[in-house]
Amino acid sequence: MVLLGTLINALLIIAGALVGRIFKNIPESMKSTVLSIIGLAVALLGIKMGFESDNFIILVISLVVGTVIGEWLDLDKQMNRLGQWVESLFSKKRTDNNQINIAEGFVTASLIFVVGSMAVIGALDSGLRNDHNVLITKGIIDGFTSIILASTLGIGVLLSSIPVFVYQGLIALFAGAISSFIPDRALQMFITEMTAVGGVMIFAIGLNIAGLTKIKAANLLPGIVVVGVMVAILYTFQ
């Protein structure tokens, strides 16, 4: 089932938001420690994925060229600007406290859960390989984050599960659809190298979550496109 990972991710957000509304006074030390452990687990998943590469040259070139493109476009900054713009639209329409809480919770959580490399990589993995490990791992992270957000921003956090399901579901479905038009050998080559490149990105995300680094993981995303280009060139001239 192509949408299994996306569905689990959305359900974990809903469950986390409900728990967050029940337990509103979670100790800061507990939040910090659990988040660090989750970050290390995510980093370990990234390392495991990174070792799947069959061509280290593709891995390195894709990451370097992709990062250069991402830094040039400054995707991380653009995503943050988009988030601030969307949030400003809601802030102009505030009329009472209830609407404020719902709007802020929905927008803040949606931006955190949707904007990120793990959502793209995980959805591609679900669509191309029917492997939902990345999205399930992301769901665990999102679920814990939604507990924290819902305990402070209200029930609007629960509604963020809708854009998460739609966004990741569309990527997974689209990836699954185009796989039927690509030669099997080329597709398998792309999946293998995309998984490895994505693994490095997820490793970076894990280190960020654990508070060990501040890598702009969104700026690495063009590396996935570079993988596709390199695989197409190699497949054509082999």
Write the CA distances from 208 to 13, 38, 76, 194, 215, integer angstroms: 20, 11, 14, 21, 7
Domain limits for position 112: 4-237
Higher pLDDT, 227 or 180: 227
Q: Residue 95: pLDDT above 80?
A: no
pLDDT at 4: 94
Nearest Cα residue to 114 out of 166, 160, 173, 164: 164
What's the first-to-final CA gap in the chain, in angstroms?
Answer: 33
Give the global pTM.
0.72
For residue range 206-234, what is the model confidence (pLDDT) as tens digits? 898 788 988 887 788 899 899 999 999 99
Higher pLDDT, 41 or 57: 57
Specify the number of domains making up the chain. Answer: 1
Sign of torsion over alpha carbons 43, 69, 65, 119: positive
CA 181/CA 141 separation, integer angstroms: 34
For residue range 122-139, what is the model confidence (pLDDT) as tens digits? 898 898 888 899 999 999
Higher pLDDT, 72 or 28: 72
CA 173/CA 222 separation, integer angstroms: 20
In percent, the amount of the chain with pLDDT more than 70 equals: 86
Higher pLDDT, 21 or 105: 21
